[in-house]
Structure 1
Amino acid sequence: MKKKPLMLALALATHVGMQASAQNAAPSKQVHQDRAFLQDYAVKNTANLSSVHQFSLASDRNGVVQILEGNRLLKPYGGQFQLDGKLVADQTYLPMKDKKVLAIDRYQDQLVYLDDEALFSNAWAGVVYLPHTLVAPTAFAGGKDFTFLAAAKNKLQVLQKGKAPQSLELPAGSEVLDIVYDEAQNQFWILAEKAVYSLSPDGKTPSKVLDGAQLTALAFHPAKNQLVVGTKNGYFTYDIQGKKKSALDQKLPWTEITTVQSDGADLWFGTSLGAFKRDASGAFSYYYGQRWLPGDLVKDLIVQGNQTHVLTDKGLGTIVFEEMTLEQKAAILDKQMRERHIRHGFNSSVDLLEPGNLGSALLTDSDNDGLWTTMYLAGEAFRYAVTKSPEALQNCKESLLAMERLYTVNPVEGFPSRSFERSGYIEQLSDPERWQHASDPEWDWKSTTSSDEAIGHVFVFGVLAEVVDDPWVKAKSIELLDALMTHVVKNDMYLIDFDGKPTLWGKWNPDYVNSFPISVGDRKLNSSNITGMLQTAYHFTGKEMYKEKAYELMDKYGYLENMMRPMSGIGRSGDGSDDWAKMLSDGWNHSDDEMYFVGYWGLYRYAFDEELKAKYKESIVDHWEAERPEKEGLWNIFTAMVQPENFDLEEAVWFLEEHPIDLISWNVKNSHRKDIELLEPNFRNQTTKEVISPSEARIARHNANRFSLDGGNGGKVEYSPGDIWLLPYWMGRYFGVIE
């Protein structure tokens, strides 16, 4: 059905390589040489943590992670990618259970504890044991040569081996929130709610360095020799050498800062709505929602190697950065595809009966089983053409059999069903009123096939017939292509359903197409699609009726003129148009974009002559120019077909690298962010000046608006990578723009 429309922030390890390739016919073709980048994904260990207890999080050089909730030590257990674990009591070291631990931290890559009697560690053979006399201490930090500073409210003590605790204090009412050690200056920085103090290890009195309000977090940033101070409404920095405080920065994903950590040139922030990283260039990567974290409220975070551990009120989320290439990412997503998303050879989504639980997966039918399968099938065809993989060829054959059965399971010659399923389940399938009984009592089939399906079928039949050198695949693809297009031509440019009537969307007849004002996108779209469909049929069958019909539509009925009108002319139908035209033009339809681009394969590659091909290129590039702000990977790769020297290769690679490998439809929210520039409402529904990263957006197919800031399905669906990611990747490989 043609639907009306209702976006791993990646730490890049390398830049996109852009260079001319001597192997390509066009010397100016842009080419990305596949190199390693950092793919992020999450591992979650859940727990409902008390809101009244103090929290600490620390890890050691061995990767041991400990969480302190109140006086209870916890550890993550069992969490894997897409399989949640939990936080359990850490009983590893028996004597710890009798300790009233009040804070934990990392010092020289080891775990250090502070209880009601002493600061101590189980590392260094247990010799670190420094008694204190503080009452209910809550924070400490380690300095040079095992010198520590601990705090309880406004009371401080310097702890050193062989020496009595040295007691100090802040002004009354200045309760210590955090302490960090600055190795460069060899001093401690002490955070209170309204001020930051400094103290050298041998100092007698803390010195106030700066004042503030609602201070919440503190970190020393060695890369810039700065303090980074979080507040309840943004953060600021303090230049230690210049003794200069910056303005408060509030253009952030969220401004209520709970914790800050420095990691080389990058800064990590925990907030009351997730965590974010700010790199040296100032760019943000936002980790919010259940794709990344078990809870929204971040209590603490630490960076350890290629992992960032984020403690939330609902458990621990570990963001892993794994080095891989696009080819390796393709293998991961192909494994997901084959293990979970094949239904009768179709490319299918799965419903999750328990949100996020892949063990509860249920394969489901779709209005567009045929369309989504054509997109996956085309990707496998390109994969086979590039690699000659026997597995890819077998995948093509299995899915092509499913495509063939769409035609044979129903009684209408040349008519493709939307889907088919075993009988007896109609009421449990989507849109049960559209299902019909097949002549075989074991099966039912879905009617009301749309133009989305038809253009997808023609696209993949052309791809298979052109690029897969297998006799059966070629012959079967051409046979099905001919059957479909014969049906359309003989039925006066309509898809005729089992009831003898045109389907709602399967209409390319001039009486329908030209009934719309020129501003209504369907007039341009249907003209473009049917021309490409007829050209494809003629190219592979040689039947003159297809060529004659295409020229008749272009010359007599203005279809060439329709498709050559610029995208800038698409808009609302205006006064005097009927309700149908008004509905079709109430906003930009991203399903139309998908139909255009898959149709461009047959429109451009199988053009009747070079003059038409040049015109088609002009139309395609005009459309691409309108789409460029979305940085849509597939549209950019499609444009390489007609303009390989300029198709936004960097943006296409950005899409492929930044796209999550977790395709569960977790809810996402970005409309609250302070770092994005919102636009006024507009016809294209472009909400922001710059599109957000795929890792921060909802999981969506190519027919969705990439500027949608919020969305998701509560973790109740896992989308297939077959059409979303594998198609643009393997098409890019086939065109030679990704090598």
Structure 2
Amino acid sequence: MRLLLLGMVAIFCSSAATPEEQALQISLDIQARHTPFGTILNPYYVSPVSSEVQTYTRCGDSAIWTGHWLASEAFRYKVTRSSESLDAAKRALRAIRLLVEVTGSNNLLARCALRTDSPFSAGPRSEEKSHGEYLGKFENTDYYWIGNTSRDQYLGVFFGLSAAYESIADPSIRETITDLATRLLDRLIAKNWAIVMPDGDISTVFWLRPDQELAIRQVGRQVNPDRFGKGYEDKRRDTGGLNIIMAFEASDENGSYFKFNLNAISWYTLIHLEEPESPKRSEYLSAYRVFRNAVVNHGNAFFNVVDRALTGPEARRDAETLDLMSQWLLRPKRDPFIDLRGKYRACGENRACDPIPVVERVSTDFLWQRSPFQLYGGGTGQIESPGIDYILPYWMGRAFELDFNLLAVSAASGRPGLAPDSIATIYGSGFTEGSQIRVTDSAGS
């Protein structure tokens, strides 16, 4: 049977920017509006309709998203080899160098760094004062730097350093990455995997997370094998029970949802860099699958791309990824208050029974670390997110040969994004008005 689809298939004919053009514009916007001091911050505008920046916010998570930004630009360079992507990666790497060198001889990682001579520093300083503020210097400029650094900041930075080291063969970049990773890892080892501030306060420890320690040691082995290779191999040999750790994490699929993003970047680093003949590789993959099974139906494009990187192509998952990314492009850039109570069935306080469509989810710095079940939340529409939650899965997906040229959604998928009264929706930039599609069955008729 041959069927000419007329009203049955919705063709979106548009001169809108392609997925790549969207990603390139987001990168430009990040550099223009989200890096006033080098690292990732979010502008807070005078009003929801104003383009005038009143202050900046989200300083406390600047390190993790700067690491994700570096990874994005590194994957972009791997795909395009463009001078623009190399320049952007260098900017992101310099920002991470700022977060390390501003702490002086401590070789700590700061949450963020704010110039002492900028009026834009006042807002973030006030927001983050509970984390502790210190004075430092970078390239002959004075900064305030924010402490009480968490494990997620370290994991995000090491994720970015690893991706950049692998993707960019420039000797000076690799030398910088090796230096930064070595300084940070040397201090963690010297402090018995506790993050210790200059005044002696311990902000957190890695003691109950051998998976995260292994991921950081794995990056150390990648960039400085002579110094860190044996330490990683010893820790790898002595570590067990990774499935149990992941099972505990997976037991609550909604609370502290950011934990799943940390799992994603840790397992990506750990497994991607593990040699194929390693006796531990199968154990790593087994623990990873516990995490993956917990989030497989959450509609998470980044986790899907990580899964493709670790396990290879899979048609249904990859089609879903394209759908989720197309929905992301329909989301607001700022943070309006969202209230979906009454629209979607609730299974608890501020928890939907099923994942909410991407286009309707509550805004955040990085969408894929936000619970897809959250029914309400947000702000006043004055904070702009950077868009790393688009460019990271986009360029990482491209690096692992995911084709973004055609975005298709099947009615059988049960996923949102299907046009009304259609059995499929195809999104693309090369269609003309009046386009038609022929569908042929398996018999060729």
Query: TM-score if structure 2 supplies the norm length?
Result: 0.79
In the alignment, which residue of structure 1 is the partner of 2:273?
606
CA-based RMSD: 2.9
> Is 2:34 aligned against 1:341?
yes
Kept in 2, the 8 Å contact 1:371–1:453? The answer is: yes
Provide the C-alpha distance between the structure 2 equivalents of 1:738 and 1:473, rounded to a whole number of angstroms.
Answer: 29
Q: 1:435 aligns with which of 116, 133, 138?
A: 133
Q: 1:586 to 1:625 in 2, by over 3 A?
A: closer
Supply the distance in 1 between the matched residues of 2:351 and 2:294 (Cα, whole angstroms).
Answer: 11
Q: Do the aligned residues in 2 keep the contact of 1:411 with 1:498 (CA within 8 Å)?
A: no
Match of 1:670 in 2: 340
Show the counterpart of 1:498: 198
Determine the structure 2 residue equivalent to 1:639: 307
Hey, what's the Cα distance between the residues in 1 that align with 2:380 and 2:290? Answer: 37
Unaligned ranges ≥5, structure 1: 1-263, 266-279, 284-304, 307-319, 514-525, 573-584
1:524-583: CA deviations, max 9, x gaps? xx2211111112201221135x34444554554xx431x2227444478xxxxxxxxxxx
Which residue of structure 1 lines up, in the alignment, with residue 283 of structure 2?
615
Aligned residue number for residue 718 of structure 1? 384
Q: Does 1:564 align with 2:243?
A: yes
What's the secondary structure of 2:144's corresponding residue? Answer: strand
Residues 192-231 of structure 1 correspond to what in structure 2 (within 5 A)? none
Q: Equivalent residues in 2 for 1:254-653 (5 A)?
A: 323-360=16-53, 362-364=55-57, 366-423=59-116, 428=123, 429=125, 430-433=127-130, 434-438=132-136, 442-503=142-203, 505=204, 507-509=205-207, 513=208, 526-543=209-226, 546-556=228-238, 559-561=239-241, 563-565=242-244, 567-570=246-249, 588-607=255-274, 609-646=277-314, 648-653=317-322
For 1:622 and 1:611, locate their aligned partners in 2 and report how far apart those are by CA, in whole Å. Answer: 19
After superposition, residues 134-145 of structure 1 pair within 5 angstroms as none
TM superposition shift of 1:388 = 0.9
Q: Is the 8 A contact 1:620 1:639 kept in 2?
A: no
2:149 maps to amino acid = T
Q: What corresponds to 1:727 in structure 2?
A: 392
- Secondary structure of 1:630's counterpart equals coil
State whether residues 257 and 369 of structure 2, in contact with CA within 8 Å, keep that contact through their aligned partners in structure 1: yes
Q: Residue 291 of structure 1 aligns with which residue?
A: none
Change in Cα spacing, 1:568 to 1:410, as seen in structure 2 (3 Å) is closer
Shift >6 Å, 4+ stretches: none
Distance 1:553 1:501, change over 3 A: farther
The CA distance in 1 between the partners of 2:382 and 2:106, in whole Å, is 37
Q: Report the structure, 1 or 2, having the larger helix content.
A: 2
Mark the CA change 1:462 to 1:360 in structure 2 (over 3 Å): closer, same or farther. Answer: closer
Q: Secondary structure at the match of 2:157?
A: helix
Amino acid at match of 1:712: G
Q: CA 1:370 to 1:551, structure 2 compared with 1: closer, same or farther past 3 Å?
A: same
Deviation string, structure 1 residues 602-639 (Cα, Å, up to 9, x no partner): 21122265322222122223211210121111010011
- Change in Cα spacing, 1:494 to 1:365, as seen in structure 2 (3 Å) is same
- Matching residue of 2:326: 657
Distance 1:547 1:437 in 2: 35
| Residues 401-437 of structure 1, C-alpha deviations (whole Å, 9 max, x = no match) | 1111111111343211111112266653221242112
Structure 1's 362 and 394: CA in aligned 2 closer, same or farther, altered over 3 A?
same
Q: Is the 8 A contact 2:254 2:373 kept in 1?
A: no
Alpha-carbon distance between aligned partners in 1 of 2:381 and 2:396, rounded to the nearest angstrom: 29
In the TM superposition, residue 363 of structure 1 has moved relative to its aligned partner by 3.4
Identity over aligned pairs, percent: 17
CA contact (8 A) 2:113 2:145 kept: yes
Residues 657 and 361 from structure 1, CA distance in 2 versus in 1: closer, same or farther, beyond 3 angstroms? farther
CA contact (8 A) 1:621 1:639 kept: no
Task: After TM superposition, list the pairs within 5 Å mapping 1:138-157 onto structure 2.
Answer: none
For the pair shown, which has the larger CA radius of gyration, 1 or 2? 1
Mapped partners of 1:537, 1:350: distance in 2: 34
Output aligned runs, 1:35-114, within 5 Å: none
Please tell me the residue identity of whatever aligns with 1:491: K
Correspondence for 2:359 among 695, 720, 725: 695
**How far is the alpha carbon of 1:594 from its aligned partner?**
1.2
Q: How far apart in 1 are the matches of 2:250 and 2:19?
A: 38
Q: For residue 136 of structure 2, what is the amino acid of its counterpart? A: A
Q: How does 1:24-39 map to 2 (within 5 A)?
A: none
Structure 2 CA distance for aligned equivalents of residues 712 and 322 of structure 1: 31
2: CA distance, partners of 1:441 / 1:614: 48
**1: CA distance, partners of 2:237 / 2:280:** 12
Q: Relative to total residues, which structure has the larger strand share, 1 or 2?
A: 1
Note closer, same or farther for the CA distance 1:360–1:492 as it changes in structure 2 (3 Å cut): closer
CA offsets per residue over residues 347-399 of structure 1, 9 Å max, x none?
Answer: 22111121232234533351111111111111111111110110111111112
Whole-angstrom distance in 2 between the partners of 1:465 and 1:427: 35
Higher relative contact order (CA 8 A, sep 6+): 2
**Counterpart-to-counterpart distance in 2, 1:733 and 1:654:** 15
Partner Cα distance (1:453, 1:380) in 2: 18
2: CA distance, partners of 1:570 / 1:600? 14
Distance 1:687 1:485 in 2: 41
Contact 1:485 1:534 in 2 (8 A): yes
Structure 1 counterpart of 2:171, one-letter code: P
Deviation at 1:462, TM superposition (A): 0.9
**In structure 2, what residue type is equivalent to 1:531?**
L
- Give the deviation of 1:463 after TM superposition: 0.9
Structure 1 residues 713 and 614 mapped into 2: Cα distance closer, same or farther (>3 Å)? same
Letter in 2 for 1:616: Y
Aligned to 1:293: none
Report the Cα distance in structure 2 between the residues aligned to 1:597 and 1:352, rounded to whole angstroms: 32
Query: Aligned with 1:350: secondary structure?
Result: strand
Classify 1:332/1:411 alpha carbon distance in 2 versus 1 (closer, same or farther; 3 Å). closer
8 A Cα contact 1:365 1:419, kept in partner: no
**Contact 2:72 / 2:395 at 8 angstroms: preserved in 1?**
yes
TM-score relative to the length of structure 1: 0.49
Give the Å deviation of 1:661.
Answer: 5.4
Q: 1:571 to 1:664 in 2, by over 3 A?
A: closer
**Mapping of residues 181-200 of structure 1, within 5 Å:** none
- Look up the match of 1:54: none
Q: Which moved more, 1:484-493 or 1:660-669?
A: 660-669
